[in-house]
């Protein structure tokens, strides 16, 4: 969820003459400390036109490192649960079918 009001404030901050000459990593750390997400910071840099690095993989690597230093987990896909063995699935299906047949015979 991107918060436009924070992106607007961050864009104004990044465009400020007193901040323009500071290193990008310092600006990113400041914005992280202010509670902006990685996507919001990328959007703010893109809007401010101060940094062309947002399109490169280097930017993502720097952002991932900064987030890890702050204790945020890396953007990883959620672990998938392994599917049960086919015999277990077959046994469960057979049991479910048996219950249906029993109830059918009981209530017909």
At residue 52, the pLDDT reads 41
Neighbours of 3 (CB within 10 A): 14
CA atoms of 79 and 19, how far apart (whole Å): 41
In 1-108, which residue ranges form alpha helices assigned H by DSSP?
4-15, 24-33, 38-48, 57-69, 86-107
CA atoms of 46 and 54, how far apart (whole Å): 7
CA atoms of 22 and 20, how far apart (whole Å): 6
Count the residues in the chain. 108
pLDDT at 55 over 60: no
Provide, rounded to the nearest whole percent, the portion of the chain with pLDDT above 70.
Answer: 72
In tens, the pLDDT along 11-45 reads 888 888 888 788 888 888 888 888 888 888 888 88
How big is the CA angle at 37 (ends 32 and 38), to the nearest 5 degrees?
90
């Amino acid at each position: 969820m991107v918060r436009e009001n924070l992106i607007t404030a961050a864009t104004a901050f990044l465009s400020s003459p007193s901040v323009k000459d500071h290193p990008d990593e310092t600006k990113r750390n400041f914005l992280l400390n202010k509670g902006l997400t990685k996507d919001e910071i990328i959007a703010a840099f893109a809007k401010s036109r101060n940094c062309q690095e947002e399109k490169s993989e280097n930017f993502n690597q720097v952002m991932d490192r900064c987030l890890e230093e702050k204790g945020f987990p890396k953007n990883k896909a959620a672990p998938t649960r392994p599917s049960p063995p086919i015999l277990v699935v077959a046994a469960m299906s057979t049991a479910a079918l048996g219950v249906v047949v029993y109830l059918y015979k009981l209530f017909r």
